[in-house]
Amino acid sequence: MRLRNKPWAKDKIAQYPQYIVPNPEEYKGKWHEAFASDQPLHIEVGTGKGRFITEMAKAHPEINYIGIELFDSVIVAALDRLIEAELPNLKLLNVNAKDLAKFFAKNDVQRVYLNFSDPWPKKRHEKRRLTYKDFLKLYEEIMTDGGEIHFKTDNQGLFEYSLMSFSAYGLLLKFISLDLHNSDFEGNIMTEYEEKFSEKGNRIYRCEVKYQH
Ligand SMILES: C[S@@+](CC[C@H](N)C(=O)[O-])C[C@H]1O[C@@H](n2cnc3c(N)ncnc32)[C@H](O)[C@@H]1O
């Protein structure tokens, strides 16, 4: 079933401007004002129902987090988690990642998380993949020099494509696991999709890459 934006979700989102920022362009270059703290900022692009970003914010109060999700009918589930957890270091944006440069300036962000991004397997949809070169350029435009992308997926085709895309862009590979759940990687936080796919027996791939300037 295709997820669409829903009026009931819009109404709910409008009630919580302290959690789902209604005017993110106003914080471009000054996100510390939105958080009232100058901590590093990590964002998750395609946050879905928000389990990963909420648990990360609980585990790392010294980092500020923003979860970015296109569909309001999905982000309301992340909003419910945030209302429950009342975390001062987490905010959500109901926007399209292709507009990231409208909301973030160079040096605003230290790290981008991509978890179980939609694979868009058809070649003609390559530009929609969140690891396509145009997105890598966009992340570079909003990150500090040496900023990192942490990426995980169960989709072997998307993982292989992304490794090639990272390499072609000149990103430095810092970490790779071809079977995350059978590795000694510590501190993994499961996303909703990760739980679903690993219960089916799918292998989880993970890598960390770094911009070199
Ligand atoms: C397959 S789901 C994974 C959700 C979550 N990260 C997880 O692992 O459970 C991918 C999510 O990314 C969102 N998404 C895809 N393209 C996006 C874009 N351009 N901007 C914002 N969100 C996007 C989708 O709406 C969807 O909720």
Assembly ipTM: 0.99
Give the number of the atom of ligand 1 that is nearest the alpha carbon of residue 96.
Answer: 20
- Answer positive or negative: Cα dihedral of 153, 158, 164, 165: negative
Report whether residue 5 contacts ligand 1, using a CB cutoff of 6 Å: no
Residue positions annotated with a catalytic role = 118
Q: Which tens digit of pLDDT belongs to each residue from 134-171?
A: 999 999 999 999 999 999 999 999 999 999 999 999 99
Binding region for substrate: 122, 154, 191-194
Residue 2 in this model has a pLDDT that exceeds 90: no
Report whether residue 74 contacts ligand 1, using a CB cutoff of 6 Å: yes
Report whether residue 115 contacts ligand 1, using a CB cutoff of 6 Å: yes
Structure tokens at 149: 């992308």
Q: Which domains does the chain have, with CATH numbers?
A: 7-210 (3.40.50.150)
Q: Which tens digit of pLDDT belongs to each residue from 106-136?
A: 999 999 999 999 999 999 999 999 999 999 9
- Answer positive or negative: Cα dihedral of 165, 167, 168, 171: positive
Q: 124-131: long-range contacts (C-beta < 8 A, 24 or more apart)?
A: 129/158, 129/161, 129/162, 129/165, 130/45, 130/46, 130/97, 131/158, 131/161, 131/162, 131/165, 131/166
Mark residue 177 as left, alpha or beta (left: phi above 0; alpha: psi -120 to 50; beta: remaining).
beta
Adjacent-strand bridge partners of 113: 44, 150
- Give, for ligand 1, the residue of 44, 45, 73, 136 to mutate: max count of ligand atoms closer than 8 Å to Cβ: 45
